[in-house]
Amino acid sequence: MYYSDKQVEWEYVQPEQHPVLTAVGYAPISAQMGNTDSAKMLMAIKASKLDAYKELAEQVYGQRIDTQQSLANLVLKDNDLKASVEGVIRGAQVVKTYPVGEDVYATELSLDFQKVYDIYLSTARPRKIKEITYY
C-alpha cells in the first residue's frame, strides 16, 4: 500500500565515544628572525604552535605523499619525495608552551573530538529517521 502523505520524525545521532588527540610542535629559538632574544623567543613560541597544528592536521587528515623516480641505464638517477597536509583544525586547545633545553620551544595541543562534534552539529545536524507516520 502506498501512502502519499507522511510525516518523518528524525532523531540526531551521537557517537558512543569521542577521542582526544594530542600533538607537540617544536621550534628552535636561535633560527628565528628578530633583533632581540625576546623577539626570537616569541617567534619560536608561535612557530612551535603552528608545528603542533600541522601535527594535528596530519593525524586528522593524513599526509599526502608524492614521489617520482627516474632511471638511466638501469641506474636510479633522480628520486623526489614530497609530503603535504591540508585541512582545517577547529576546537584545538593549547595545553602548554614551554622551553626545551636552551634553544627550543615546544607547544602541546589537545583536540577533543567532543568539541569538534559540537561544532559539526551546529552546522551539519546529522540525523536518522526516528519514526514515520502515514496519513
Residue 11 vs residue 42, higher pLDDT: 42
In a domain, 12, yes or no: yes
In a domain, 36, yes or no: yes
Q: Is residue 91 part of a domain?
A: yes
Quick one: pLDDT band at residue 28, thresholds 50, 70, 90? very high
Residue range 31-35: average pLDDT? 94
Q: What number is the average pLDDT over the span 86-96? A: 93
Asked if pLDDT for residue 2 goes beyond 60, the answer is: no
- As for how many domains the chain has, the answer is 1
Asked, for residue 116, whether it belongs to a domain, the answer is yes
In a domain, residue 71? The reply is yes
Instruction: Give pTM, 2 decimals.
Output: 0.72
> Domain span at residue 58?
6-134
Name the pLDDT band for 121 (thresholds 50, 70, 90).
Answer: confident
Beta bridge partners of 66: 82
Q: For 67, what's the count of Cα atoms within 13 Å in the CB-facing half-sphere? A: 5
Q: What is the pLDDT of residue 5?
A: 78
Q: Indicate the pLDDT class of residue 23, thresholds 50, 70 and 90.
A: very high
* 29 burial type by CB count under 10 A (0-12 exposed, 13-18 middle, 19+ buried): buried
Considering the domain boundaries, does residue 114 fall inside one?
yes
Residue 1 lies in a domain: no
The residue count for the chain: 135
